[in-house]
Homo-oligomer: A and B are copies of this chain.
Amino acid sequence: MSQTAPRPDGPHGGPGAVGRGSARPTLEEVAALAGVGRGTVSRVINGSPRVSDKARQAVQSAIAELGYVPNRAARTLVTSRTDSIALVVPEAETRLFSEPYFSDIISGVSAELAETDMQLLLILVRNQRERERLSAYLTAQRVDGVLLVSVHQDDPLPSLLESLEIPSVLAGRRSDLEPLSYVHADNAGGARMAVRHLLRRGCTRVATLTGPLDMEVAQARLGGYRRALEEAGRPYDEGLVGLADFTEDGGRLAMRELLERRPDLDGVFCASDVMAAGAMQVLRAAGRRVPDDVAVIGFDDSIVARHTDPPMTSVRQPIEEMGRTMARLLLDEITERGRARRQVVLATELVVRESA
């Protein structure tokens, strides 16, 4: 590692001789070239206002000339800021997500981070062992903040984050008492909108397929269903509620039971698109036409919704916007530590197609 030799070849190095091993310039070299001290260069880089214009100029052109990029490790070592945040995804969830969910969240987060020089670390947790490793990891303060995509009420991760006092933002919430910052869609509102649409369409016996009720999302959607009925003066009938789990198979199963219990139902609000897709298959197999005999609405407006037959009416949530917002909240929380937690609810919207 003899980097003693002054490197005569700046960024202008031969066109062929690409910058292979060429040592990266250090802050010290920038200082020397600019004719100032290390401190001043550091101040310029970190945007301190206490620098004369002249010095700033000199430093900036030295930086440009050398192609200087600060060494992250060195900075982290002294500041113990890592300038990186982790997106933590329990892998079990991955399977559940309406398909573009995951990439849309990432896309939003990444878009928001693009202007920053924060790095995005992706951590999938697939089992207990990895969960423990993650705890150790987080405890070792290796990230400045955490985005957690998780919604189960008994998930231990949020509490861990809470107790470690690491800035964090959840996608979704555990309950309406959630103490951590979170961003979520207006699930209740979306469900309510969907059910009102069914009622307005003339449905009189509207059923619902729910997600697993240990998730707040599922509860909220069920709540919206109930609310819409009540607002319309209809009774809430438990016989019309099919407990399922967001999956296609679960949807099929629950739909079959529902159909047996209430053969006269004429509308179904499903808490996920894939459940709705499963339900539509079951309905067709039972000889019901969609939407003529039974109208169906899904939730997520995922790619599946556009491809069922008939195309599915569904509640859209602004997933990418959720990602963006999560990132923004997290950055805020990191810079102004100790500030109150923030919670954001984003509007949902009903995308009407042919199934209802």
Binding site for B on A (CB under 8 A): 1-9, 12, 18-21, 24, 43-50, 60, 63-64, 67-69, 71-74, 76-77, 79-80, 82, 84, 87, 91, 94, 97, 99-100, 102-103, 106-107, 110-111, 114-117, 119-124, 126, 130, 136, 139-142, 163-165, 248, 274, 277, 303-304, 306-309, 337
B307 in contact with A277 (CB, 8 Å): yes
A99 in contact with B18 (CB, 8 Å): no
A121 in contact with B119 (CB, 8 Å): yes
A46 in contact with B110 (CB, 8 Å): no
Q: 28 pairs across A/B with beta carbons < 8 Å?
A: A1-B63, A1-B64, A2-B63, A3-B117, A4-B46, A6-B48, A9-B43, A12-B79, A19-B139, A20-B141, A24-B141, A71-B77, A72-B76, A73-B76, A73-B82, A91-B110, A102-B103, A106-B124, A110-B122, A110-B123, A111-B124, A111-B126, A114-B130, A119-B121, A120-B123, A122-B122, A303-B303, A304-B307
Please indicate which of the listed interface residues A68, A103, A115, A126 has the most CB atoms of chain B within 10 Å of its own CB. Answer: A103
- A247 CB to closest chain B CB (Å) equals 12
B122 in contact with A24 (CB, 8 Å): no
A110 in contact with B124 (CB, 8 Å): yes
A77 in contact with B73 (CB, 8 Å): yes
Known: A19-B139, A110-B122. A99 touches B303 (CB 8 A): yes
Known: A18-B164, A73-B76. A126 touches B114 (CB 8 A): yes
| Cross-chain contact of A307 among B43, B107, B117, B307 (Cβ < 8 A) | B307
CA distance A123 to B114 in the complex (A): 9
| Cross-chain contact of A60 among B1, B100, B277 (Cβ < 8 A) | B1
